[in-house]
């Protein structure tokens, strides 16, 4: 772009074309940020930079940390160059891409990225031995702004300037950069965090004279791009996965042993109303928060109020929920009521569920609560999905209850809440059931495919009943449930959408798609290929490798048993070796199950492709219109549709329907502004 007689160019000579924010961050497009900077103005850029900490040291506990250079106001330039000897527009362009009178240390920028990665947009003071301060800097960004920046940083690694660093087993978010060097080639640097969906680690590095661009490599990476290197990396990946699973199994067994000794397994936070003791292996009562728990039982058990009344009372009085925020969850209140950690138990009751060694350390004259360990099995899996801003990663968590015989009881101090209140409260809610929202109709867009664009919640179904001239009339809607659950401030999406109208718009779009079988085939083939390439190598070959490991475990087991029979090892040594083999067997069987699940997903996708192309794509328009709601839902599932509704009524549809990336993006305007024919208003945007 031209400013006066000077032309400011992008680092990419041919340019990037038209971009949005995510694309501009991913491509590191200078011209995009030149234009943004001119719209914001120099004062706004400087003020926000000071707010975010670019003028301050990080506070790390090391001597001689350098102070960054970042002007607090335009007076800095007046003092440095003279009031008429510098150009505000040119200065804006430099600051828009991080250049000019702006120098930052790597550790200070990592602190900034830690704030972007945190759930509340606050940055902690980094440290080596101990932090110099517990104060966390607020970056001043809203949740929506933080989410947008995280999506942009993910796009940098997925398809942008750090695309060579993309890993199939780890979602990384980050940004490449260039540090100007007056003594030679510029330095390249990279700062990022991982996993992108739930960050645990922030990393940063500078490559001297690297200019720009970055590649993330493991220390044992072959890094030569050859088939042999790919094979070696794949084997190393599987061995590392095996070792991680073995470590997790050992950790689990250690926790079980500790719980059987009567010790609480410390997590990120104790049950509300308690604190950890100094050894962090049991609880002490926190009188302040325990009064809130006691009030729940008093209001419901002694005063006869409802859970909803408790929720509204706490929110009205500003009582903060345990995890922060403003709104109390009825589910959390219900779990507190059912948790035996608050219910007093006599010594005789405790003695029946703990070992004699644990019972021997208790005072028979006291009551105790029960903290249960090993109640649930949690399976966490990282999955990727295509969305409007490219590939996104999220964790899919499945929680199932274990058999009661596997639960381990740990005695904790008495909460002090009367037992009769707790029993009365449980009796009051035992028949609570969520009312059915189906209203005797098939909701085509329910079941996790329809979301609110404003807050990300799933859209819920709602039916209102009116009586007209003695007849009952039902009206069916989709709506964002967050406002109804948490109040008007929780989400600005306040509109109800008639179910029949929205469903007709979506089916109109999908019907048009089904009449273009080649486009449909290309999109489905792309998704199948993405699922197949979910790991290095062929899943069938990986399964064969793990089966060989399983056979090796069986051979070792037989060998150890033979050694014991011949008296070469003792029975205790045999038990130890067999326990280790069982641990290895569990790990191998889990990996085989994971790989077989991936193969099954590929087979399901292939089956859906054949069904769509062989059954629905051949139907004439009249037959498509006659398909019932359940068949339409089945088609939507095959297409992996994801719908998002904006507060203004714009409906975005994403799914596997096009060539190139397995992604279609369509924005359907509100029905009130479109033709009366369903689907006629669909405006296709390039993916």
Per-position DSSP letters for 582-649, written without gaps between them: HHHHHHHHHHHHHHHHHHHHHHHHHHHHHHIIIIITT--HHHHHT--HHHHHHHHHHHT-EEEE-TTS
Question: Which tens digits make up the pLDDT trace of 628-654?
Answer: 787 788 788 777 788 899 888 888 887
d(CA 645, CA 643): 7
pLDDT at 275: 95
Place of tokens 């607090």: 72
**Phi/psi of residue 216, each to 5°?**
-90, 125
d(CA 271, CA 640): 39
pTM: 0.46
pLDDT at 423: 94
Measured between its terminal Cα atoms, the distance across the chain in Å is 27
SS3 at position 33: helix
d(CA 360, CA 485): 47
Torsion, Cα of 217, 185, 54, 82 (10° steps) = -170
pLDDT at 670: 45
SS3 at position 40: helix
Give the 3-state DSSP-derived string for 274-294, with helices as H, strands as E and coil as C: EEECCCCCCEEECHHHHHHHH
Question: Which tens digits make up the pLDDT trace of 157-182?
Answer: 888 888 877 777 788 899 988 877 76
Q: What is the mean pLDDT of each run of 10 residues along the chain (687 residues)?
A: 75 82 89 90 92 92 89 89 86 87 90 92 90 87 89 89 78 85 78 88 81 52 60 67 76 90 91 93 94 94 89 90 86 93 95 93 95 88 60 73 92 95 92 64 84 88 82 87 80 89 87 75 69 58 72 78 77 75 74 71 70 62 71 79 86 61 39 33 33
Q: Residue 432, exposed/middle/buried by CB under 10 A (0-12, 13-18, 19+)?
A: exposed
**Phi/psi of residue 651, each to 5°?**
-110, 120
d(CA 36, CA 351): 69
pLDDT at 598: 67
pLDDT at 669: 46
What is the topology classification, in CATH, of domain 2-207? Answer: Beta-lactamase (3.40.710)
d(CA 238, CA 545): 10
Are 462 and 499 contacting, i.e. CB atoms less than 8 angstroms apart? no
For the chain, which residues make up each domain, given as ranges? 2-207, 261-429, 450-515+619-685, 526-616
pLDDT at 223: 54
d(CA 354, CA 253): 18
* Ranges of H-type helices in 318-471: 330-338, 347-351, 356-359, 419-429
d(CA 398, CA 487): 29
Among 5, 226, 191, CA closest to 105 = 191
d(CA 31, CA 585): 56
d(CA 272, CA 285): 9
* Ranges of H-type helices in 207-265: 227-260
Cα distances from 182 to residues 95, 233, 459, 623, in angstroms, run 18, 39, 55, 71
């Amino acid at each position: 772009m031209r400013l006066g007689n000077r032309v400011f160019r992008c680092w990419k000579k041919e340019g990037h074309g038209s971009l949005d924010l995510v694309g501009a961050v991913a491509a590191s497009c200078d011209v995009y940020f030149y234009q943004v900077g001119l719209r914001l103005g120099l004062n706004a850029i400087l003020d926000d930079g000071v707010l975010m900490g670019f003028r301050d040291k990080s506070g790390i506990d090391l001597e001689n940390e350098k102070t960054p250079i970042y002007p607090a106001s335009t007076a800095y330039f007046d003092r440095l160059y003279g009031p008429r000897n510098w150009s505000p527009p040119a200065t804006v362009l430099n600051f828009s891409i991080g250049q000019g009178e702006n120098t930052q240390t790597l550790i200070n920028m990592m602190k900034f990225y830690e704030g972007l990665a945190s759930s509340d947009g606050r940055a902690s003071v980094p440290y080596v031995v101990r932090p110099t301060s517990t104060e966390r800097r607020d970056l001043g960004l809203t949740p929506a702004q933080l989410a947008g920046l995280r999506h942009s940083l993910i796009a940098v690694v997925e398809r942008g300037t750090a695309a060579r660093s993309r890993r199939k087993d780890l979602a990384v978010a980050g940004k490449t950069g260039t540090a100007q060097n007056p003594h030679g080639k510029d330095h390249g640097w990279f700062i990022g965090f991982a996993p992108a969906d739930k960050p645990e680690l922030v990393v940063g590095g500078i490559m001297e004279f690297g200019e720009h661009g970055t590649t993330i490599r493991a220390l044992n990476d072959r890094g030569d791009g050859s088939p042999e290197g790919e094979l070696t990396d794949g084997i190393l990946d599987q061995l590392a996965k095996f070792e991680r699973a073995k470590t997790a199994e050992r950790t689990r067994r250690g926790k079980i042993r500790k719980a059987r000794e009567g010790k609480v397994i410390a997590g990120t936070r104790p049950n509300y109303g308690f604190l950890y003791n100094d050894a962090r292996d049991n609880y002490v009562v926190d009188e302040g928060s325990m009064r809130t728990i006691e009030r729940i039982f008093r209001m419901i058990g002694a005063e006869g109020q409802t859970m909803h009344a408790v929720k509204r009372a706490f929110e009205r009085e500003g009582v903060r929920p345990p995890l922060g925020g403003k709104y109390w969850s009825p589910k959390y209140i219900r779990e507190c009521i059912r948790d035996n950690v608050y219910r007093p138990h006599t010594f005789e009751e405790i003695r029946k569920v703990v070992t004699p060694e644990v019972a021997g350390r208790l005072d028979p004259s006291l009551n105790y609560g029960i903290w249960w360990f090993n109640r649930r099995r949690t399976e966490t899996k990282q999955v990727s999905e295509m969305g409007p801003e490219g590939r996104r990663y999220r964790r899919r968590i499945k929680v199932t209850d274990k058999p009661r015989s596997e639960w381990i009881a740990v005695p904790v101090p008495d909460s002090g809440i009367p037992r009769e209140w707790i029993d009365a409260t449980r009796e009051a809610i035992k028949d609570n059931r969520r009312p059915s929202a189906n209203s005797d109709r098939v909701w085509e867009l329910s079941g996790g495919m329809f979301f609110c664009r404003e807050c990300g919640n799933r859209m819920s179904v709602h039916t209102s009943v009116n009586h007209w001239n003695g007849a009952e009339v039902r009206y069916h809607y989709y709506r964002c449930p967050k406002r109804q659950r948490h109040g008007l401030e929780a989400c600005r999406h306040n509109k109800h959408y008639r179910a029949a109208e929205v469903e007709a718009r979506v089916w109109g779009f999908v019907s048009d798609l089904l009449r273009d079988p080649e486009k449909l085939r290309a999109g489905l083939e792309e998704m199948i290929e993405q699922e197949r390439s979910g790991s290095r190598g062929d899943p069938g070959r990986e399964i064969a490798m793990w089966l060989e490991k399983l056979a090796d475990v069986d051979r070792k087991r037989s060998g150890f048993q033979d050694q014991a029979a011949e008296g070469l090892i003792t029975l205790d040594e045999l038990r130890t070796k067999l326990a280790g083999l069982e641990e290895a067997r569990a790990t191998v069987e889990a990996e085989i199950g994971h790989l077989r699940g991936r193969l099954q997903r590929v087979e399901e996708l292939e089956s859906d492709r054949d069904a769509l192309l062989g059954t629905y794509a051949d139907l004439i328009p009249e037959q498509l219109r006659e398909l019932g709601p359940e068949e339409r839902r089945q088609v939507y599932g095959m297409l992996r549709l994801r719908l998002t509704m904006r507060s203004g009524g714009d409906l975005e549809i994403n799914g596997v329907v096009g060539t190139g990336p397995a992604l279609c993006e369509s924005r359907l305007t509100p029905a009130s502004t479109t033709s009366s024919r369903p689907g006629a208003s669909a405006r296709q945007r390039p993916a």
